[in-house]
Chain A
Amino acid sequence: MTELQAERATETLTTPRDDAASKGWRYLDVLIALAAFAVLASLPFLSSSKALLDFVIRCSAYGLFATSLNLLVGYTGLTSFGHGMFFGLGAYSFGLIMQRTGASIPLAFVATLAITAIVATVIGAICVRLKEIYFAFVTLAFQMLIYSTILSWPSFTGGDQGLRGGIPRPVFIGIDLSNHVQLYLFSCALLVLGLLAMRQIVQSPFGYTLRMIRDNAKRAAFIGIHVWRAKLAIFVMAALFAAIGGMVMALFVSGAYPEFAYWTISGEGIFINMLGGVTTFLGPMVGTVLLLILNDTVTRFTDYHGIVLGIVILFFALGLRKGLMDFVVDWAKQRREKGGSA
C-alpha cells in the first residue's frame, strides 16, 4: 500500500468539518449580502422616485439572468447563445400558472422552477455533449424553437401580444405584491438570495470542478471527473436562476411578452457579461447596471441609440478588450505589483 493509500484509510475516521477560513469567507459573503440588502431596502424611504425603484427591479431581473449565464460562460466555459429561453420560460410559466390556476405565489414559484428544471434537463442532455460553437448554435436553435412556439399558440400564450390581463397577486404570508414598495423589496430579496446561492455554488468544490472543466476538460476527465454530468448539472442550475429572473420580470410588467424569449435576451446577457467582465463574480451585476443605464440614457437623448450602443460595445471589445470588472481587477493587480517592486 502506498503512503497516500494509507492516509486515505485513516481519513474516513476524521469527521469532515469546514475549517475556520472557509467559514470566514461564507460569513463575509452573507454579511455583504445583508449590507447590500439593507442599502437597497432603505432606498424607498430616502427617495420618492418610482423610476429609481423600477430601475432596481429591472436590474434584479437582468442581474439574476446575467449572473446565471456567467455560471455557464465564465466558470464552465459553456458559451450558450440560447440562455434567454429560460428567462422567457420562467416568465411565461409563472404568468400562466397564476392566471389560469388559483395558485398562491410561492406555489407558482416552485412549480415554475420544477417546469424549468425538467425542460433544462432535456435540452441540456442534448446540448452539453456538443463542442463549443455547436453547443452555442443548438442552444440558440432551441431558444428560437420555444419562441416560435410561444408566438404560434395564441390561444394559450397570447401569441405576439403576450399574456394580457395582468398577473393576479394574492397576498401570501402578509406580503402584498400589488404594493409597489413590497414588490421592490421582494425583488431585491430574490436578487440577494439568488446571488448568495450562486456564490455558494461557485465557491464550492463543485465550482472548482467547473473551473477545471473550463480550463482543460480533457484533463479533467483524465483525473476522474464525469464532465458530461457536471455540465448538465450546471446547465440546469443556471436555467433555474434565469427563470427566477424571468419571474421577477413577469411580476414587474404584470405579464409576459414574446420578447422575453427572443434571442436578443440571450444577446444582452452575453453583452452584459462582456461589459462587466466574466472573471469576477459580481462582474455580470456591474454589467447589468451599466447596460440598463446605457439603454435608458441613450434612448432619452437620441433616436439613433443603435449607433451609440454600437460604439460603446466597440470601445469595450476593441479598446479595453475585457469587461469592466476584469479591467479593474487587472489594473489593481498591476498597481500592487509595481508598488511592491518599488
Chain B
Amino acid sequence: MLAPRLRELLCTTRDYARREGIQAELSLHRERSSLIRLGNSAVALSTSEELTRFDVKVQDGRRVGSYHVNSDLTSAEQLRDALNRAMEFCAASPENEYEPIFGLVEEDVDDSHGFDPALEALPPEEKIEVCAKVIEAIKPKGAYDFSGSWSSGSTEFYYTTTANDREAYRRLTDGKLVLTIQEQQHKWEIYNEQSGKGKAEFSADNAIMELERLLPIYESQPGYAPPLGNTRVIFGPQAIGELLMMTLWGGFVGRMYEEKQAYTSGKPFGEQLFSPLISITDDPGHPGVYGMPFDFNGMRRRRAFPLVGGGMFRGLIYDTRTAAKYGKTPTGHDGAIDLVLSTGDAPAGLDAAFSLTGDGLYIPFLHYVNMPEPSKGLMTGASRFNALRIVDGRPVAPIFSVRITDSVVTILSNTLAISSLPVFLDVSTTYERRSPQAVSVPEYLICDNVRISDTTESF
C-alpha cells in the first residue's frame, strides 16, 4: 500500500472535497527511476530520479477541470491548492453537450504483484558489470561499437474518488536493457533486448548468446537489398509489437471507430477482419504483460477483454469520455491496456520459422511506424536490427534497411503461421512519467505478400 503519510494526504483531500460538495478524482504517481546510457562501448551517462505527481480532476455536471502537480508533496495545503486550481478550470468551462462519466472505484485494489525490490534498487554498478561482460565477450571478435541503455525502476499508482472510500493501488517494477552493436566499416547494426518485471530477467549470457548467433552471418555475408514488391516476411517480436499497436490504434479505439476514422468503422462485431489465426485480447491478468488492474477514470476492475477472436471483430475499447459522448459503456481503458496477441501452433524457434518460410525476409524490428491512412489500416515502417534474407529455409544474408508500407488488415489476413512461444515485450515510454507497458506477442508471425515499398543499400 502507498506510504501512510501520502495516503493520509490524499484521503484528507478527498474527504475535504466531499465535505465541500466537490466531485473529485485524485491520483498519485510515484516513480523511482534509473538509467545508464552507453555509446561507443562506454557508459556516458547514469541517471536517477525520484518523482511524485498528484493529478486531480473535478467535475460539476457537464463541466470538468484538471490540475497536475509534480513537486515535493508534503502538506494537505498543496493538494487542496491543486484541487482549487482544478475547480477554477471547471468553473470557467462551458457546459459540454454530454455529461462525463465520473470516476468510481468499484472495489478496493492493493496489488503489488510484479514488484521486485531487487530490480527497484538495482544499482548502476551492477548494470555496468553486465554490459561490460557482454562487451568483453564480443568486442574482440571485430571492430564493433556498442551502444545501448538500461532503464529500471518502480512505479506506484494510487487512485480514489469522492464517490466512495475505496482505493486502488498498484506497485510494480519494470526494466529494459537494449544493447546494440554497429560494425565500424560496414555499418550493420544488430541488437539484443531484454525486459521484465524482475532482476532475474536480465543476464549478460542471454545477450552474448543472441549477438553471437547473429555475428557469423553479418560478418561473412554482404548486405542484401530486397526488390520492391510483395514478399513473404517473418515478423519477429518487436515488429509484431509495432503491428499490434497499429492494429489497435487504427481499428479498435472507440473514438476512431465512431468518427469513421478506423479501418473497422461501420463493421459489425462478428465480421471476419483477419486470418482465423489471429486473436487479440486486452488481458491485465496475463503473465506476459505488466497488468494494470484498474484504469484512470474511476475503474471498474479491469478483466480480460477480447478484441479479435479467430480473426473476427469482437470488441472496441471506449474511454469514459468517448463512452459518454457516444452513449457507450466505458471498457476500462483510460490510460491502461495490456495487449496479448495469442500464440499459434507453429513450432517454437527461429529455425522452425525459417524452415516453414522457405524463401523470404526475417524482420524482427520495425522502426518509426506510422499510419498514413488509418481508414484503410495502411501503415509504414522500416526494418532495422537483426534482419535476414531467408533462402530455402536458411538465413543467407543480412538485409539492408527496407520500408514496408502495407495495410495491417492485409498483413494480418495473410498470416500463414504463428509461433507457439509467447514473448514478453516491453513497450514502455518515459515521456513525462514512467509508464510501464508490455505486450505479449508470439515469437514470430509468418505473413505472405507483404509489400516492400522502398529499399536501400545501407543498414
Q: Are A and B genuine complex partners?
A: no
A residues near B (Cβ < 8 Å) are none
B residues near A (Cβ < 8 Å) are none
